[in-house]
Amino acid sequence: MTTVVTLADFNRRERVVAQHEYLLQTAHDAGEEPPRHGVVILGPERFAVDGVEIIAHLSDRQPHLAAARNLAGDWATGSESGRSRANETIIFLDADCVPGSDLLRRYRQALEQEPSAVVTGPVTYLQETDSQLEQIRAGAQSPSWLDQLRQPHPARPEIEGTQLRKATEQEYDVFWSLTFALTSATWRRIRRSWGGFDEDFHGYGGEDTDFGWQMREHGVPLFWVGGADAFHVWHPVSSPPWEHLNDIVENANRFYAKWGKWPMKDWLDAFERDGAVQLMPTVGKYAVVK
């Protein structure tokens, strides 16, 4: 059994619809049972998508991504009900991502080879011209059309074909929760070992890197999976992300207090150059300049 979980607010409802359509079609094309699909709703507005189960609704205006991911993982394993499910494949897939034609199969194969690992595939960030939602939803009838747009993000290792490669110690730094998979047994081990995503991180930024560093600290193998492609739908972004300034500063301070190193340093440096934040060496924290 394969379970796919995602997090989404009301504004991303149509993207969850597209994601679900792709999951159904890729399973159909492979002659497989469709995956179970669940969503944690973020923000005050509730919504529904046919065929997608509602895991929980976190109605706070500030999204608590770490808590939402923990809820999603527990739901997928049955931990929230006290009835653990079999050792199935759990795929975390960002609401802005649609799966490539082979994502489901390649994640399952990778976990058959490395059942104690966390595995993660390439991400292509689609250009605006390729990201009209109507076009993407129309393509759900043939998910392989995305293959021609494949251009994996260069920040992560390029894995050829269907290779499976263990991450180096340094590569844990570029773990992203956009797309990754693990067995239900590994999720339960993670929750026992360090609690999963650290819920002291609030809002946006830092919780992914912290999770990756915890994996490294606790000896959880990380593998790069060729062929398990996800495609990220374009949306406007700011660089640095000014809309998340306060969250980034708060979470960076939390990360530094925990690990002794600064995450998101490029963003912090950019904010500092523009006079928005200031490092206070005597207390080892960044402060937002009012």
Of 188, 205, 232, which residue is a domain's last?
232
Q: Are residues 228 and 246 in the same domain?
A: no
pTM of the model: 0.94
| Residue 85 predicted with pLDDT over 70 | no
pLDDT band at 75 (very low <50, low <70, confident <90, very high): very high
> In this predicted structure, what is the pLDDT of residue 82?
55
Does a structural domain hold residue 32?
A: yes
- List the domain range (segments joined by +) for residue 13: 2-232
**Domain membership flag for residue 200:** yes
Q: What contacts 24+ positions apart, CB below 8 Å, involve 43-52?
A: 43/9, 43/10, 45/9, 45/10, 46/10, 47/10, 47/13, 49/13, 49/16, 49/17, 49/20, 50/20, 51/20, 51/24, 52/16, 52/20
Asked whether residue 237 is assigned to any structural domain, the reply reads: no
Q: Are residues 158 and 266 in the same domain?
A: no
Average pLDDT in the 49-73 region?
Answer: 93
* Residue 9 within any structural domain of the chain: yes
**Do residues 34 and 152 share a domain?**
yes
Do 153 and 224 fall within a single domain?
A: yes
Residue 281 covered by a domain? yes
Q: What type of residue sits at position 266?
A: D
CB 213 within 8 A of CB 207: no
Select from 36, 208, 268, 223 the least CA-distant residue to 111. Answer: 223
Do 134 and 214 sit in the same domain of this protein? yes
Query: Do 226 and 280 reside in the same domain of the chain?
Result: no
Contact 179, 91 (CB under 8 A): yes
- Please check whether residue 69 lies inside any domain of the structure: yes
| pLDDT bracket for residue 254 (50, 70, 90) | very high
In a domain, 278, yes or no: yes
* 273 & 130 share domain: no
Domain boundary among 206, 232, 258: 232
Per the CB < 8 A criterion, the answer to whether 230 and 93 are in contact is yes
CA 26-32-35 angle, to 5 degrees, is: 70
CATH code of the domain in which 132 resides: 3.90.550.10
Question: Bigger pLDDT: 175 or 283?
Answer: 175
Amino acid type, 12: R
Structural domain total, the chain: 2
Same domain, 187 and 274: no
Specify whether the CB–CB gap between 232 and 241 falls below 8 A: no
Say if strands 97-99 and 230-232 run parallel, antiparallel, or are unpaired. antiparallel
Please tell me whether residues 169 and 265 are part of one structural domain.
Answer: no
- Tell me the pLDDT tens digit for each residue of 103-144: 999 999 999 999 999 999 999 999 888 777 777 887 777 888
β pairing state of 285-288 and 2-9:
unpaired
Which of 118, 113, 125 lies closest to 171 in space, CA to CA?
118
Please tell me whether residues 193 and 173 are part of one structural domain: yes
CA separation for the pair 231, 203 (Å, rounded)? 24
pLDDT category at 160 given cuts 50, 70, 90 is confident
Q: Are residues 20 and 153 in the same domain?
A: yes
| CB neighbour list of residue 83: distance below 8 Å, 6 or more residues apart | none
Q: Are residues 147 and 68 in the same domain?
A: yes
Asked, for residue 193, whether it belongs to a domain, the answer is yes
User: How far apart are alpha carbons 250 and 247 in whole angstroms?
Assistant: 5
Domain boundary among 210, 232, 254: 232
How many whole angstroms separate alpha carbon 197 and alpha carbon 22?
27
Higher pLDDT, 203 or 257: 257
